[in-house]
Structure formats: structure tokens, C-alpha cells
């Protein structure tokens, strides 16, 4: 089977693209269900429990509702940009997922520029929010759009600098090599703890999740950039946010948490329980399966963290957000980068 | 086949780029101008990809389309010109002057490219994917041509001086921006302090 994939690059590429597009799309409704259940649990409520057993069919009901809802556009919207904006949020996050190795050497495509592709494409998501906020012809939406563009630009810098610290450890932008380097030398979260924390915080800001969801901020801006959106257009914004969350978690796992690998002691546990020996030296069907399991487990844990933080921390004030971004995150990230570079150079000699 | 695909992609992206460039200038609403400018920058990135300058293409997208245009949009949205509040576009004289300047720049660039001695060394129209093996005696393309490694190596060896010079330019711009943003705040603080001092003095008088 592995040989067949190697021999038919075009066909296997199409299969990979379709599967890796479909899987995150299917995860999103489940993720929304879990978010609602977990938030109910954190707030000591029951959460959705009416549709199906323990409310498990709630996401289906939500999707049907969103599809059947009347598509309303308020007066005075800028029609073309109003329709374009939801797609602009959704597409970049989905495309950025294409280069994440979800299993051993398993990614839709692997350009020479590696992870630079993901951050470049991911940075376009901000246009959806800004254009959506502007086109809605609503001052709250406009404020949400404005806030999101300033916020994304500010935290992108910290995100890139934190990402650089992880890339410098492996000396490459190829994510598979970054993972192999982590197998050899230990996870980057131990070698680059500051970088990992900065990346995590910046990825919360980039995905517009609490405590950084100033673009939505329902207590001040009603719903921010998506106030005037209904039915599927609103669902696209929603989908975009969750896909961005999945992509960011997957990137974080790959860069700092060993990607599709697992430390040796956990591999022995797998060996004891399931009787399979896993070695990451060569790609076999078994290794591929287990690497996908490891990757999914780590990404799910991070997604839980995203949800956990959302329902635990209060929202930042806008000036606090900007101060944290420019006066704390970026200087710390720059210092971290300088120290990393110095240590790498000293260790080479 | 591959050559044909590349040529048609170049043609399409070039056409789209020209159309977008015209739309950037002709749209009355600056938001639309910004939108088409983003697409235009994207088509330029496609040209870089076709020339196998992959890293440069991504940087084009990341820096121009992804970062600078966001700031443009921020400013446009902050002013939020709509309908009647759109500024006047200027009279017929302005348009003729603009047309003249554009024509001048176009003819300048066209002659410069047409008279370039390098032109003869390309086997097809410049800008197409067919980059020759050697340009003016030196190898035009190495194995990792356009990759991050090759780009970084060139940047920090051949062009190190220029690179550092540019970084100083950027640094001075940052210092200038910080200075400008601090000035009104400092003045405000001085005013507040002066006001506090005078009121404080009055209070002491009252005590006496």
C-alpha cells in the first residue's frame, strides 16, 4: 500500500487532499459540540442534552438550522465584499492545514518553503474579518474589523518570532525534518519553553479566541464583524474560526510537541498493550497509523486547552491587548531569538 | 506540456495583474482599490513562483499582501469614506498629468528592458519560465535556485552590505515613528504636571 502511494503521486495527492480537507471539516461540528459540553461542565451546567443520546446529535441539528435559516442582508451593505468576506476567513485556514504533517511524512504537499507557506496563507484570514466588518455597514462591525486587523498584525510578529525559535533548533523550514529533529533531541517545548509559550499565546490572538476575541466582543460590539451575518455566511465565519483553531493546534503540535512522534517510554507502553513495535526509522502502514493516532491525540489535547482557556479567562481590554503584544511578547520573543542564536553558534564551535 | 502550462499561467496572471492595476486606479471606493491591489500583489507572487523564486514569492505575499495591505486597510477603514464623504478625485488637468507621468515611466522601462544586453540570452520573452543556464557568463541558476537556503546565503554574503544598510534605514524609520508617537504624550504629561504643581501650590497657600 505504501508502495502504491509512492508510485502514483498524482492519484495519492488527490486522495490526500480530499481526505485532509474532509477530516477537519467533519471535526468542526464535533468540536462545537464538545466546546458546548465542556463549557457547560466548567460552568456547572448541563449543556446540550436533548437531541440524541447525551445531546450528541446537537451539531447535526445546528447545521440543519444554519442551512434552513433565511439569508438576510441588511440595507446598505456592500454586496460584493459582504459575500466574499466569509470565504476569505475560511479558505486561508483550510489551505494552511495542507502542509501540516498529520502522520509520518503525510501531508498534502511539502513545498521547499515549508512552514513559510502556512504562515503566509494563514495571514490572509484577517482580510475576511476586516472586509466583513467594513461591508456590513454597521459601526459595531466596523469596530470589530478594525480591531481584528490591528490585533492580527501585532500578534503575527510575535507568532513568527516564536516560530523562528523552533525552526532554528532544527535549522530548516521542512516540518518533517523539524519533527525528526525533535525525535533525536527531545521536544522543542523543553528546549524552547519561552518560544512555546509565546507561540501558544499568539495563536490564541491569531484565531480570535478568548481572552483575545476583541473582534467579536459581544458585550461591547454585539458580535463584532459577524453581527450582520446570518445562515450559511455566519456558519462560514464560525467554520473558519474552528478550522483556524485546528490548524494552529496542529502547527503548535508539530513545532513544539514532537508532531507525529512519541517519546520512547510511551512507545514501550504501546508495545506492551497492543503488541506493536513502532520505530520511526521507516514508513510502514503500522507506523503511519500510530503516528496519526499520536498526532491526533496531541492536537485534541491542545484543542481542549483552547476551549478550557476560553471558558476560564476573562477578556482583555483593548489597550491591555496591545500593550501585551508590543511591550511584552515581541521584546521577549526577540530576546529569546537572540539567545537561541548565540547558544547555537557557541555550541557549534 | 509543462512549458505550455507555465506560459499560459504567466499570461493569465499577467492579464489579471494588468486588469487589477487599472481597477486599483479607477475604483472610486478606496476599499475596492485596496482589494484589487491585494490581488495584483498576488499575481506578482505567481510570477515569482514561475521564475522558481519560491521564497521571494512567499515573501511578496507575506510582507506586501499579508502585512502592509492590512495596515492600508486599517487606515482606510478608520477614515471609512462612504458615498458622499468620498474625497474629490481631482480635475481633468490632474488626470492628464498622471497619464503623462505613467506614459513616461512605461516608455522608460520598456526601452531599458528592450535595450538590455541580457535580453538576447533568454530564449523566449523575459519573465517566462525559461531561464537560461548562464547569464553573462555566470550560472543563472543553481540546483536550489530560489530556495530559502540559496536566498539567505546570497543575502548574507554577496549583498551583506546593502542588507545591513537597509536594516539601518528601517531602524531609523522605527525610531522616528516612536519619537513622533511619544511627543504629544510627553507634552500632555508636562501640562498635567504643571497644572498639578500650581494647584498644589494653591493648596499650601490655603493651609497657611
Instruction: Establish if A187 belongs to a structural domain.
Output: yes
Distance CA A151, CA B208 (A): 53
The pLDDT of residue A233 is: 85
- What CA–CA distances, in Å, run from A310 to A25, A153, A314, B11, B16? 21, 22, 8, 48, 42
Q: Which of A80, A93, A116 to mutate to test the interface with B (most CBs of B within 10 A)?
A: A116
Residue B31 has pLDDT above 80, yes or no: yes
Distance CA A182, CA A169 (A): 9
Residue labelled with grid coordinates 534605514: B169
Q: Is A113's CB within 8 Å of B61's CB? A: no
Q: Which of B2, B48, B62, B181 to mutate to test the interface with A (most CBs of A within 10 A)?
A: B62
Chain A hits for B35, Cβ within 8 Å: 81, 131
Chain A hits for B144, Cβ within 8 Å: 112
Instruction: Establish if A144 belongs to a structural domain.
Output: yes
Instruction: Establish if A133 belongs to a structural domain.
Output: yes
Q: If pLDDT is split at 50, 70 and 90, which confidence band does A10 have?
A: confident
Contact status of A134 with chain B (Cβ, < 8 Å): yes
pLDDT in tens, A214-267: 777 777 777 777 788 888 888 888 888 888 899 999 999 998 888 888 877 777
Distance CA B183, CA B201 (A): 27
Instruction: Establish if A277 belongs to a structural domain.
Output: yes
How close A148 comes to chain B (CA, Å)? Answer: 9
Q: How many other CB atoms are found less than 10 A from the CB of residue A52?
A: 13
Which of these, A115, A241, A220, A244, lies nearest to A178 by C-alpha position? A115
Chain A hits for B67, Cβ within 8 Å: 123, 153, 156
Here the ipTM equals 0.81
Residue B195 has pLDDT above 50, yes or no: yes
Chain A CA closest to residue B151: A113
Distance CA A193, CA A165 (A): 10
| Domain count for chain A | 1
Average pLDDT on A70-93 reads 85
Instruction: Establish if A142 belongs to a structural domain.
Output: yes
Residue A89 has pLDDT above 90, yes or no: no
Nearest to A145 among B35, B55, B77 (CB): B77
Residue range(s) defining the domain that contains residue A299: 65-348
Instruction: Establish if A36 belongs to a structural domain.
Output: no
Chain A CA closest to residue B63: A120
- The model's pTM: 0.83
In B30-69, the residues whose Cβ lies within 8 Å of chain A are 31-32, 35, 38, 54-55, 58, 61-62, 65-67
Instruction: Establish if A49 belongs to a structural domain.
Output: no
Instruction: Establish if A37 belongs to a structural domain.
Output: no
Nearest to A173 among B62, B78, B148 (CB): B148
Q: Is A113's CB within 8 Å of B74's CB? A: no
Provide the number of CB pairs (under 8 Å) joining chain A to chain B.
68
Chain A CA closest to residue B149: A172
pLDDT in tens, A57-68: 888 888 888 888
Amino acid at each position: 500500500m505504501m508502495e502504491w502511494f509512492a508510485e502514483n503521486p498524482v492519484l495519492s495527492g488527490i486522495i490526500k487532499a480530499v481526505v485532509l480537507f474532509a477530516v477537519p471539516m467533519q471535526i468542526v461540528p464535533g468540536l462545537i459540540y464538545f466546546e458546548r459540553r465542556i463549557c457547560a461542565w466548567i460552568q456547572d451546567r448541563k449543556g446540550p442534552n436533548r437531541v440524541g443520546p447525551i445531546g450528541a446529535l446537537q451539531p447535526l441539528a445546528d447545521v440543519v438550522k444554519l442551512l434552513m435559516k433565511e439569508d438576510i442582508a441588511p440595507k446598505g451593505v456592500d454586496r460584493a465584499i459582504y459575500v466574499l468576506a466569509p470565504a476569505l476567513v475560511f479558505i486561508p485556514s483550510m489551505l494552511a492545514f495542507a502542509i501540516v504533517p498529520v502522520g509520518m511524512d503525510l501531508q498534502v504537499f511539502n513545498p521547499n518553503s515549508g512552514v513559510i507557506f502556512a504562515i503566509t496563507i494563514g495571514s490572509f484570514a484577517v482580510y475576511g474579518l476586516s472586509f466583513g466588518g467594513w461591508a456590513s455597514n454597521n459601526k459595531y462591525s466596523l469596530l470589530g474589523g478594525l480591531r481584528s486587523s490591528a490585533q492580527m498584525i501585532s500578534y503575527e510578529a510575535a507568532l513568527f518570532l516564536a516560530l523562528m525559535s523552533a525552526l532554528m533548533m532544527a535549522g530548516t523550514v521542512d516540518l518533517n525534518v523539524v519533527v525528526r529533529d525533535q525525535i533525536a533531541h527531545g521536544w522543542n517545548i523543553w528546549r524552547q519553553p519561552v518560544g512555546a509559550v509565546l507561540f501558544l499565546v499568539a495563536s490564541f490572538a491569531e484565531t480570535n479566541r478568548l481572552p483575545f476575541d476583541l473582534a467579536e466582543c459581544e458585550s461591547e460590539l454585539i458580535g463584532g464583524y459577524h453581527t450582520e451575518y446570518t445562515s450559511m455566511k455566519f456558519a462560514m465565519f464560525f467554520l473558519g474560526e474552528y478550522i483556524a483553531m485546528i490548524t494552529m493546534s496542529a502547527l503548535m503540535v508539530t513545532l513544539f510537541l514532537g508532531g507525529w512522534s512519541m517519546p520512547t517510554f510511551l512507545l514501550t507502553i504501546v508495545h506492551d498493550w497492543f503488541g506493536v513495535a513502532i520505530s520511526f526509522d521507516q514508513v510502514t502502514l503500522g507506523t503511519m497509523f500510530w503516528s496519526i493516532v499520536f498526532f491526533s491525540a496531541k492536537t485534541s489535547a491542545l484543542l481542549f486547552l483552547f476551549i478550557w482557556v476560553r471558558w476560564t479567562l476573562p477578556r482583555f481590554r483593548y489597550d491591555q491587548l496591545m500593550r501585551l503584544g508590543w511591550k511584552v511578547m515581541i521584546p521577549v520573543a526577540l530576546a529569546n531569538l537572540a539567545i537561541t542564536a548565540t547558544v547555537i553558534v557557541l555550541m557549534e564551535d | 506540456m509543462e512549458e505550455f502550462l507555465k506560459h499560459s499561467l504567466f499570461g493569465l496572471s499577467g492579464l489579471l495583474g494588468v486588469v487589477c492595476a487599472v481597477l486599483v486606479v479607477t475604483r472610486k471606493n478606496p476599499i475596492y482599490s485596496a482589494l484589487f491591489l491585494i490581488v495584483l500583489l498576488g499575481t506578482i507572487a505567481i510570477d515569482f513562483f514561475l521564475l522558481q523564486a519560491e521564497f521571494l514569492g512567499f515573501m511578496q505575499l507575506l510582507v506586501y499582501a499579508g502585512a502592509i495591505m492590512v495596515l492600508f486597510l486599517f487606515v482606510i477603514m478608520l477614515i471609512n469614506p462612504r458615498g458622499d464623504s468620498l474625497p474629490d478625485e481631482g480635475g481633468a488637468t490632474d488626470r492628464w498629468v498622471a497619464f503623462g507621468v505613467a506614459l513616461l515611466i512605461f516608455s522608460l522601462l520598456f526601452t531599458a528592458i528592450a535595450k538590455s544586453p541580457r535580453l538576447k540570452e533568454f530564449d523566449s520573452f523575459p519573465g517566462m519560465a525559461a531561464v537560461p543556464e548562464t547569464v553573462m557568463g555566470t550560472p543563472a541558476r543553481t540546483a536550489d535556485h530560489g530556495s530559502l537556503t540559496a536566498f539567505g546565503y546570497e543575502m548574507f554574503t554577496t549583498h551583506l552590505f546593502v542588507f545591513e544598510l537597509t536594516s539601518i534605514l528601517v531602524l531609523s524609520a522605527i525610531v522616528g515613528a516612536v519619537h513622533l508617537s511619544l511627543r504629544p504624550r510627553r507634552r500632555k504629561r508636562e501640562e498635567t504636571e504643571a497644572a498639578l504643581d500650581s494647584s498644589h501650590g494653591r493648596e499650601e497657600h490655603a493651609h497657611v
